[in-house]
Amino acid sequence: MKKVDSKEKKEFVYLKKDSKDILDHLIKLSALTKIQKNMADYYENQYLTSDHGDMIKDEIKRILFEMQPMMVSLTDCM
């Protein structure tokens, strides 16, 4: 039997600024909604206060507002 050597091919993905912005917003939105989903645990263990909860909710609203113009493009992409 011959030993087959495989090479990893490294490729770079170049994104336009619009695509980077959309991905950045989606990543932030994903992280914040995961935190918000388990907010009771964070309150119970005193990792976060109610002020932090308000800041997270406001940030989610801000991100969603900024994503409104991008929604058609994002939906078409999916």
Q: Does residue 32 lie within any of the structural domains?
A: yes
Is pLDDT of 42 > 80?
yes
Among 1-5, 7-11, 64-68, 71-75, the minimum mean pLDDT is found in 1-5
Q: Does residue 21 lie within any of the structural domains?
A: no
The percentage of residues in the chain with a pLDDT greater than 90, rounded to a whole number, is: 46
Give the pLDDT confidence score for residue 76 in this predicted structure: 73
Q: Does residue 22 lie within any of the structural domains?
A: no
Distances, alpha carbon 48 to alpha carbons 1, 34, 77, in Å: 60, 14, 36
Q: Does residue 2 lie within any of the structural domains?
A: no
d(CA 70, CA 43): 34
The total of structural domains in the chain comes to 1
d(CA 12, CA 61): 33
pTM: 0.71
Is pLDDT of 1 > 50?
no
Q: What is the mean pLDDT of residues 61-78?
A: 84
Range of the domain at 42: 28-77
